[in-house]
Amino acid sequence: MENIAFLGTGGTRTPSQGTTCLRVSDHCVIDAGNLINTFGDEVFTIEHIFLTHSHLDHIIDIPFLADLFVTQKSISLKIYGLKATLDDLRRFIFNHRVWPNFEEITLIGHTDKTIELIELDLEVPYTIDDITLTPFKTNHTEGSCGYIIEQNSSALLFTADTYKCDRIWELLDERPNIHTLITEVSFPSSFAKLAYDSKHLTPSLLAEELQKCKRDDFTLCVMHLKALFMGTIIEELNALHLLRNGGKVLIDGDRINYTRP
Ligand SMILES: [Zn+2]
Ligand SMILES: [Zn+2]
């Protein structure tokens, strides 16, 4: 694929908006907040899901995908994440209580299990199709990470959910081939306490964070806005001139090219 398709961009699930879900190649997505409603019949082409963390808005379609795949696929659906994220899936979702344990259930007519959980190492590149994903630690939950998404040495940095996090700004300075930063802004600036407690960013926190970075040449896009506060957040982003170099608030269906336009 020539671009990343943003299938779900909301910080809230509404009738018109899904939650975090990026299609990064023909067979690979990051997070599973909006797969079922956006892929249609193509849903069976998904082979790899890289998770940023285990919050419900990022994993919600995985149980339904496993349920679809068990009678239709011949190879396991591979789900990647840091250890704490995979532990959460085992303990709280695929536990034979909330949902069947598809890690133990064999695909009908085949030998592979329905899902395979694969632990990621931080700062190690993983290549799927023609793209490379490198997870880095973020400041959101235990086991949360973002990804550097790279194709032919052209890269984007996707933080997913995070609070203040030095590593984001170090990576941007270390890797000049990152042309676009996609980060989150969940609440208006007046909700600083809630942002701290829930480990999310506001426009003024993002403005503070940007001071840590020497570069000012990358495009900055945001997502994960809480629907109730969308108008206020956008006003604040504009007042602080944060959507720099052609950046925008991403909506479901947006695409960003791997190569810088
Ligand atoms: Zn989260
Ligand atoms: Zn989230």
CATH, residue 100: 3.60.15.10
User: Could you tell me the distance, in angstroms and rounded to a whole number, from the CA of residue 58 to the centre of ligand 1?
Assistant: 7
Q: Which domain holds residue 119?
A: 3-257
**Residues near ligand 1 ion, CB 5 Å cutoff:** 55, 161
pLDDT band for position 260 (cuts 50, 70, 90): confident
Q: What is the pLDDT of residue 261?
A: 66
Q: In total, how many domains does the chain have?
A: 1
C-alpha 179: how far from chain center = 18
Give the containing element (helix H, strand E) for 38: helix 36-39
User: Could you tell me the distance, in angstroms and rounded to a whole number, from the CA of residue 31 to the centre of ligand 1?
Assistant: 11
Per-residue pLDDT, averaged over 142-165, amounts to 97
User: Could you tell me the distance, in angstroms and rounded to a whole number, from the CA of residue 17 to the centre of ligand 1?
Assistant: 17
User: Could you tell me the distance, in angstroms and rounded to a whole number, from the CA of residue 55 to the centre of ligand 1?
Assistant: 5
- Please check whether residue 260 is in contact with residue 154, taking contact to mean a CB–CB distance below 8 angstroms: yes
Per-residue pLDDT, averaged over 104-116, amounts to 98
Whether pLDDT at 168 is above 70: yes
Which residue is associated with the tokens 């006003």?
235
Give the containing element (helix H, strand E) for 167: helix 166-174
- pTM over 0.75? The answer is yes
Per-residue pLDDT, averaged over 39-50, amounts to 96
Quote the radius of gyration of the chain (alpha carbons, Å).
18
User: Could you tell me the distance, in angstroms and rounded to a whole number, from the CA of residue 110 to the centre of ligand 2?
Assistant: 35
User: Could you tell me the distance, in angstroms and rounded to a whole number, from the CA of residue 153 to the centre of ligand 1?
Assistant: 29
